[in-house]
Chain A
Amino acid sequence: MLRNIKDKFMNYSFGLMLACLTIIAISKFNNFMDNYELIILIGSAITFTWMGNVWSNFRKLFLYTFLLSFISIYFYKGTLEGIELNFILKYFLSSQSAIMWMTALYPLSLVTYWIYLFSKQDFYGNLATKITWIATMMGFVGLLVRWYESYLIGIDVGHIPVSNLYEVFVLFCLITSLLYLHYEEKLEIKKMGAFVLIIITAAVAFILWYTLEKGANEIQPLVPALQSYWMKIHVPANFIGYGAFAMAAMISVAYLLKDKGIIGSYLPELNVLDEMTYKAISIGFIFFTIATILGAIWAAEAWGGYWSWDPKETWALIVWLNYAAWLHLRLIKGLRGTVLAWWSLGGLVITTFAFLGVNLFLSGLHSYGEL
């Protein structure tokens, strides 16, 4: 009973806090936003309130992330030199440092999950979960502070950090972890962390290479085609799709290992893994569909047509057809098991090509994220 009251109190306070933040943001930055961006801001506040209400850990993440971000912004004192002058910024809370912490913590969490998998001791499982949450928090702090830093470079240079390959790779790690953490909590199974964190660690490795070899972490202003409120909804929706597909593929890896009897005794039951894969692909599919449609509407506003058979658009269609077929086989034909697991894993190859390969190897209107 008391718990219920406490929960309700937290929910209302959270909602109230978000409402206040939104009002402050609108009053301060009204001139920088057009009507659509106002709607997106209010919509986001409502969405995050709802998410905080149904998932208390998300609420915690949100609070800590924003707390650290605001502290970071305070330390900057309005100038980029702050990074050099302030110890906390330099080593923890500047956008780059926070993201570097994220790149350190995700691999650590991967290792911890594997220890958990073999030792079967809850301590390691809980530790791994905690590390994953902290890594995700640092990543979000990194992106939020980067958003602020972009405005410090120049008022017209500032933009939401989902505009190039580097930024979206960070976003990918964060969204995939959140999706995973959600299912981990809901199904009360921590074993899949050992697998999902593999793809996240791979993404982290790419981020590190991209930063150190190509200096990709430098903030660049937006090219005219990207100056649109659509970027705020099309890109994140796409990454919920990519993240879910990536998670599904990793769970399929676990499925295939179990099926072949490799470390099978440590893994959950086959039908559990199968079900998890289906859930992941379902949510990925619906968001991917929404993202592709949003992309088409944006294309119509920016390039003159909702579909130009641009390589990125075309490969998005291929990804969509692929998972539509997967779902068809499962829902209509009632297929289960090994075939679908292999297919889900193969789906990751197609998704990766659509995500990365198109930018690397093919040219087109979408080449914002070139290496």
Chain B
Amino acid sequence: MRFAITMFSFLAIASIIGTVLKQNEPYNNYIIKFGQFWFEIFEKLGMYNVYQAFWFLLILVFLIISTSLCISRNTPKILKDYKSFQDRVREKSLLSFKHSYQFSLKNFSVKKTISFLKSHNYKVKHKVIEGNGDLIIAKKGDLQKFGYIFTHLAIVIISIGGLLDGNLVFKVQELIGTKQIQLEDQPLSKIPLKGRMSEDNLSYRASILLSEGDTKTAAILRAKEGYLVQEIPFSITLKNFNIKHYSTGQPKSFESELLVTDKKTGETINKTISVNKPLTYKGVTIYQAAFEDGGSQLDLLVWDLNSSQPSFKMNSEIFKNNKLTFENQNLTFEFKDFRKFNILEVGQNEEKKPKPTNVGPNFLYKVRNESGQAKEYQTYQLPILIDGKYFFMSGMRNSPQEEFKYLKIPADDNLSIEGFMVLKSLLNNPQKVQNAINKGINTSAFTNAGKKEAFKLGAKNIINAFVGGGYNSVVDEMDLNIPDQASIADKEKAIKTYINIIYLVSQELVRGYQVKNNEDIVFPIKDASRFIQDALTAYSDSFFYGVPLYLELKEFKEVQASGLQLTKSPGQFWVYLGSILLVLGIFCMIYIQEIRLWIFRKKGSNRLIVSLATNRDRMDFDQYAIEFKDKIKKIT
């Protein structure tokens, strides 16, 4: 048993490691996390798939063997105890019991005593001992002992069931070399026999990703750093995938309408599955496991944030790439994902706490340059309410390990991005900028004409700096104009002035545009100042946005893909059987009390010896013994 305890402890520790260290991740993630050195060590120890590591399964096997041995050793004794009545007791030993009583009873009747005992659910045996007297032996609750057999047998059965579902067969095949994990992304038909598990594979958990309208005839088994193909006896077609939502915007159900066709007979089954409602067919159970985008179509408008160029269209599709030449660079836009519903904690106007709200669709894409480096973008289609104002959010990051940094473009009163785009075009129009400076300066109190011109030139330089590089360039401009020895306060004052100039010029640009176009709706009248400030900040931030192209999603056609899990689990039956046995066994061991009773009357005397024994001598047994003895006294 000590061996079993040691093994169990190992199992416990290994299991705990498996909870702390994320299991079954793609090997890349581990390399990034631990570095090459530790990654290899952990890999050899099987830490990434602890529960199917060879040594883990070995421990399980040992436990099964040791528990079985325990059972086989103890069962004969238990069975013997169960059958026996322990009738070979002597008077002396009876008296030495912890619960033993002697008293005289005049009208002792063996018959009546036996029926009394039976009425209290005892099993009774009567033995006439020649020359000595009557011995009545009674017992009850002897099922208790079976608790031991049940519980330990249950553990063996459950472990065997678990092993059945462990992929031992594959492990052996891999060792021998008849099966090999595939590493490259290939069309399924090209994968050799070595990388395919047959339909008869006893036990597996494989997955299939199906776009709407798609049909697949085999599933994928993720294994270590690669995968295997799992053949299945039928084909699956995803007729429709549907996500239903609550009124609060959160997902309510994921449903896949499937058409399953038997490969041999052509028999078809139509069924809609959802989470908690799988479909079982030919021994394989199909579960709704996940969902992804299946190749949604996106109609985009591409805006150059740093020029006055108009936008141009780009039509794309998730999982496809678009090529574009921009500023003499050949760029590839790789569209990765589209999500129609996004629940974010979004702020309300007053001090109300942010609640989960559906902010609408977003899409994910990478922009790769000629040297192969890529930046990742996540852009939301609709403006999001933040601190009482609406912003178009587009996140950018240089690598998957980083957090997204967001470009926040303020929405105009129409909740459109037009307002910002108009302003950025105006800023990039030197003629309009000059007009704005002229107009803006004329209203100021400059008396000296020369000073006026110098100021106008200065303002033009400041605006150019801003337009060409955001606020950082403005700081550089300041460094050019202000001597290094100037105090911090002076420098700050200068920056403030520059920012003010940029603001005033922008304001003038806006006014000019509104007068010309008579569209005072485009820019928010109430909060024009806030809008312009946010817009200038966004413009400045655009220089950290990577390639300064903003993709606006105009229209989309969603195509969804459903992630299904296919499971074959022969061990399940045994695990469930073992579980029932386990519960029964625990109940027997804890709640059934075995009590044995001996009543001995010496021949020709009125003296009775009553002795009781129990396997679980608890406090309340003292009382039980005394009470029972008194009851026996009263039998008439």
Residues of A within 8 A of B (CB): 154, 156-157, 215, 220-221, 223-225, 227-228, 271-272, 275, 282, 285-286, 289-290, 293, 296-297, 300-307, 309, 311, 314-315, 317-318, 321, 325, 327, 331, 358, 362-364
Q: Quick check: is B162 within 8 A (CB to CB) of the other chain?
A: yes
Q: Quick check: is B428 within 8 A (CB to CB) of the other chain?
A: no
Q: Quick check: A224 and B590 within 8 Å, CB to CB?
A: no
Q: Quick check: A227 and B276 within 8 Å, CB to CB?
A: yes
A282 to B616, CA, bound (A): 14
Q: Quick check: B15 and A289 within 8 Å, CB to CB?
A: no
The verdict on A225 contacting B276 (CB below 8 Å), with A297-B576, A362-B19 known, is: yes
Q: Quick check: A156 and B587 within 8 Å, CB to CB?
A: no
Q: Quick check: is B488 within 8 A (CB to CB) of the other chain?
A: no
> Which of these, A225, A305, A311, A327, contacts B567 with CB under 8 Å?
A305
Chain B proximity of A216: nearest CB distance (Å): 12
Q: Quick check: A157 and B19 within 8 Å, CB to CB?
A: no
Q: Quick check: A286 and B569 within 8 Å, CB to CB?
A: no
The verdict on A296 contacting B205 (CB below 8 Å), with A156-B252, A321-B12 known, is: no
A297 to B579, CA, bound (A): 10
A315 to B253, CA, bound (A): 29
Q: Quick check: A318 and B276 within 8 Å, CB to CB?
A: no
The verdict on A296 contacting B575 (CB below 8 Å), with A314-B15, A362-B19 known, is: yes
Q: Quick check: A300 and B246 within 8 Å, CB to CB?
A: no
The verdict on A157 contacting B247 (CB below 8 Å), with A286-B586, A306-B569, A318-B16 known, is: yes
A227 to B566, CA, bound (A): 21
Taking CB atoms, residues of chain B closer than 8 Å to A304 are 205, 278, 285, 287, 289, 565-567
> Which of these, A272, A305, A315, A325, contacts B205 with CB under 8 Å?
A305
The verdict on A225 contacting B5 (CB below 8 Å), with A156-B246, A285-B586, A306-B569 known, is: no
Residue from B15, B165, B274, B278 whose CB has the most chain A CB atoms within 10 Å? B15
Residue ID in chain B nearest A363 by CB atoms: B22
Q: Quick check: is B172 within 8 A (CB to CB) of the other chain?
A: no
Q: Quick check: is B572 within 8 A (CB to CB) of the other chain?
A: yes
Residue ID in chain A nearest B288 by CB atoms: A224
Q: Quick check: A301 and B276 within 8 Å, CB to CB?
A: yes
Chain A proximity of B369: nearest CB distance (Å): 34
Residue from A157, A224, A321, A358 whose CB has the most chain B CB atoms within 10 Å? A224
Residues 13-44 of B contacting A (Cβ, < 8 Å): 15-16, 18-20, 22-23
The verdict on A302 contacting B275 (CB below 8 Å), with A221-B252, A227-B253, A362-B20 known, is: yes
Chain B proximity of A76: nearest CB distance (Å): 19
Q: Quick check: A223 and B251 within 8 Å, CB to CB?
A: yes
Given contacts A309-B19, A321-B12, A358-B19, 13 further A-B contacts (CB under 8 A): A157-B247, A221-B252, A271-B619, A275-B618, A303-B289, A304-B205, A304-B285, A304-B566, A305-B205, A305-B567, A309-B51, A318-B16, A362-B19
> Which of these, A156, A223, A300, A315, contacts B569 with CB under 8 Å?
A300
A197 to B205, CA, bound (A): 46
Residue ID in chain B nearest A227 by CB atoms: B276
A285 to B586, CA, bound (A): 9
The verdict on A306 contacting B18 (CB below 8 Å), with A157-B247, A293-B579 known, is: no
Q: Quick check: A325 and B248 within 8 Å, CB to CB?
A: no
Q: Quick check: A309 and B567 within 8 Å, CB to CB?
A: no
> Which 10 residue pairs are nearest across A and B when measured between Cβ atoms?
A311-B19, A224-B275, A304-B565, A293-B579, A304-B287, A228-B276, A221-B246, A304-B567, A309-B51, A282-B590
Q: Quick check: A157 and B589 within 8 Å, CB to CB?
A: no
The verdict on A296 contacting B276 (CB below 8 Å), with A224-B251, A307-B162 known, is: no
Taking CB atoms, residues of chain A closer than 8 Å to B583 are 286, 289-290, 293
Chain A proximity of B166: nearest CB distance (Å): 10
Q: Quick check: is B108 within 8 A (CB to CB) of the other chain?
A: no
User: Per-residue 0/1 for B325-369: is the Cβ within 8 Å of any A Cβ (1 yes, 0 no)?
Assistant: 000000000000000000000000000010010000000000000
Taking CB atoms, residues of chain B closer than 8 Å to A293 are 579, 582-583
Taking CB atoms, residues of chain A closer than 8 Å to B19 are 309, 311, 314-315, 358, 362, 364
The verdict on A309 contacting B15 (CB below 8 Å), with A221-B246, A304-B287, A321-B8 known, is: yes
Q: Quick check: is B250 within 8 A (CB to CB) of the other chain?
A: yes
- Between-chain CB contacts (< 8 Å), 27 pairs: A157-B248, A221-B252, A224-B253, A224-B275, A224-B276, A227-B276, A275-B618, A275-B619, A285-B586, A290-B583, A296-B575, A297-B576, A302-B275, A302-B276, A302-B287, A303-B289, A304-B205, A304-B278, A304-B289, A304-B565, A314-B19, A315-B16, A317-B15, A321-B8, A331-B590, A362-B20, A364-B19
A272 to B165, CA, bound (A): 46
Chain B proximity of A192: nearest CB distance (Å): 16
Chain A proximity of B159: nearest CB distance (Å): 12
Q: Quick check: A289 and B567 within 8 Å, CB to CB?
A: no
Taking CB atoms, residues of chain A closer than 8 Å to B278 are 301, 304
Chain A proximity of B590: nearest CB distance (Å): 5
Chain A proximity of B568: nearest CB distance (Å): 10
A40 to B357, CA, bound (A): 35
> Which of these, A157, A272, A331, contacts B246 with CB under 8 Å?
A157
> Which of these, A220, A289, A311, A325, contacts B582 with CB under 8 Å?
A289
Q: Quick check: is B503 within 8 A (CB to CB) of the other chain?
A: no
A305 to B16, CA, bound (A): 20
Residue ID in chain A nearest B16 by CB atoms: A318
Taking CB atoms, residues of chain B closer than 8 Å to A224 are 251-254, 274-276
Taking CB atoms, residues of chain A closer than 8 Å to B16 are 314-315, 318
Taking CB atoms, residues of chain A closer than 8 Å to B8 are 321, 325
Taking CB atoms, residues of chain A closer than 8 Å to B20 are 362
Chain A proximity of B357: nearest CB distance (Å): 13
Chain B proximity of A321: nearest CB distance (Å): 6
Residue ID in chain A nearest B616 by CB atoms: A331
Taking CB atoms, residues of chain A closer than 8 Å to B566 are 304
Taking CB atoms, residues of chain A closer than 8 Å to B254 are 224
A349 to B19, CA, bound (A): 17
Q: Quick check: B576 and A314 within 8 Å, CB to CB?
A: no
The verdict on A227 contacting B275 (CB below 8 Å), with A289-B582, A304-B565, A306-B575 known, is: yes
The verdict on A286 contacting B275 (CB below 8 Å), with A220-B250, A309-B23, A362-B20 known, is: no
Q: Quick check: B287 and A221 within 8 Å, CB to CB?
A: no
Residue from A221, A304, A358 whose CB has the most chain B CB atoms within 10 Å? A304
Taking CB atoms, residues of chain B closer than 8 Å to A306 are 569, 572, 575-576
Q: Quick check: A331 and B589 within 8 Å, CB to CB?
A: yes
Taking CB atoms, residues of chain A closer than 8 Å to B165 are 305
Residues 198-252 of B contacting A (Cβ, < 8 Å): 205, 246-248, 250-252
> Which of these, B51, B287, B572, B575, contacts A303 with CB under 8 Å?
B287
A325 to B8, CA, bound (A): 10
Q: Quick check: A154 and B247 within 8 Å, CB to CB?
A: yes
Taking CB atoms, residues of chain B closer than 8 Å to A286 are 583, 586-587, 590
A172 to B101, CA, bound (A): 47
A167 to B254, CA, bound (A): 25
Residue from B19, B251, B253, B356 whose CB has the most chain A CB atoms within 10 Å? B19
Q: Quick check: B18 and A309 within 8 Å, CB to CB?
A: yes
Taking CB atoms, residues of chain B closer than 8 Å to A285 are 586, 590
Chain B proximity of A55: nearest CB distance (Å): 17
A363 to B23, CA, bound (A): 11
> Which of these, B12, B590, B591, contacts A318 with CB under 8 Å?
B12
Taking CB atoms, residues of chain B closer than 8 Å to A275 are 618-619
A220 to B582, CA, bound (A): 36
A358 to B18, CA, bound (A): 12
Taking CB atoms, residues of chain A closer than 8 Å to B11 are 321
Taking CB atoms, residues of chain A closer than 8 Å to B567 are 304-305
Residue ID in chain B nearest A354 by CB atoms: B19
A286 to B618, CA, bound (A): 19
A314 to B17, CA, bound (A): 10
